[in-house]
């Protein structure tokens, strides 16, 4: 399945297999940890990495926009990975993509990587605080936000899933008691897996769609 509905703090959210969350009541599309330009940063440092990642990721956002027709796109931090240099082609790629979606409001809740660059260049509204909306708060780092249920990024959550004698290491949505962690949207990002906690609802992201895991109370 590509989509999975989950209820949290009285709101219904649609999780999507492309590692995104759609909030139907407001028609908001939420992404975390996009890390545009990570490939360029690595190449400059001598890590041989072929190009094409940013364009791939832009296409994935295009498909999500076409599917949900959102009114606003909110990135929960780490839109970019590092400083952009004048000869960095990905900046122009993102700007052109932004122009194509000029009518769509796009906001960035600033993450630690975003200090490298002014997101305004890419046409994103910059939000320096946690963004509160109804019972939900949208932030980057998963530090509890009293009075609200926080959706956050930053950790690139993952989970190990047993499959007979095999084990798969997969990105995951992890919904805790008061904080939910979104998987990193950028394909070129790492994974931090933790054993499931009893209170968590976990939905793993496989290349073939979502896999909601049953967590038994221990």
Least separation in angstroms between residue 51's CB and another protein is 4
Listed in sequence order, the DSSP H helices in the chain are 38-44, 53-68, 89-100
Contact between 81 and another protein by CB under 8 A: the answer reads yes
Query: How many residues lie near another protein (CB under 8 A)?
Result: 42
Contact between 208 and another protein by CB under 8 A: the answer reads yes
* Closer CB to another protein, 129 or 165, in the complex: 165
Among 25, 27, 44, 63, contact with another protein (rule: CB under 8 A): 44
Longest dimension (CA), the chain: 54
* Closer CB to another protein, 17 or 123, in the complex: 17
Contact between 52 and another protein by CB under 8 A: the answer reads yes
Least separation in angstroms between residue 164's CB and another protein is 8
Closest CA to 19 of 6, 37, 31, 1: 31
Least separation in angstroms between residue 78's CB and another protein is 11
131 CB contacts (<8 Å, ≥6 apart)?
A: 74, 107, 109, 137, 138, 139
Q: Looking only at residues 147 through 186 of this chain, which bind another protein when binding is defined by CB under 8 A?
A: 161, 163-165, 168
Closest CA to 174 of 192, 190, 189: 192
Q: Are 94 and 122 a contacting pair, CB within 8 Å?
A: yes
């Amino acid at each position: 399945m590509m989509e999975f509905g989950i209820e949290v703090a009285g709101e219904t959210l649609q999780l999507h297999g492309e590692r995104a969350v759609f909030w139907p009541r407001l028609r908001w599309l939420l992404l975390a940890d996009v890390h545009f330009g990570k490939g360029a940063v690595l190449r400059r440092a001598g890590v041989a990495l072929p190009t094409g990642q940013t364009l791939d990721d832009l296409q994935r956002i295009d498909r999500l926009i076409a599917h949900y027709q959102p009114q606003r796109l909110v990135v929960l931090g780490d839109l970019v990975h590092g400083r952009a240099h004048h000869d960095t082609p990905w900046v122009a790629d993102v700007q052109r993509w932004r122009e194509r979606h000029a009518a769509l409001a796009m906001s960035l809740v600033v993450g630690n990587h975003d200090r490298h660059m002014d997101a305004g260049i890419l046409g994103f509204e910059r939000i320096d605080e946690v963004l509160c909306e109804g019972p939900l708060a949208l932030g980057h780092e998963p530090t509890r936000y009293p009075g609200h249920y926080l959706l956050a990024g930053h950790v690139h959550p993952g989970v190990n899933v047993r499959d007979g004698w095999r084990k798969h290491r997969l990105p995951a949505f992890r919904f805790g008691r008061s904080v939910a962690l979104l998987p990193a949207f950028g394909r070129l990002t790492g994974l931090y897996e933790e054993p499931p906690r009893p209170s968590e609802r976990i939905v793993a992201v496989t290349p073939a769609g979502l896999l909601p895991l049953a967590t038994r109370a221990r």
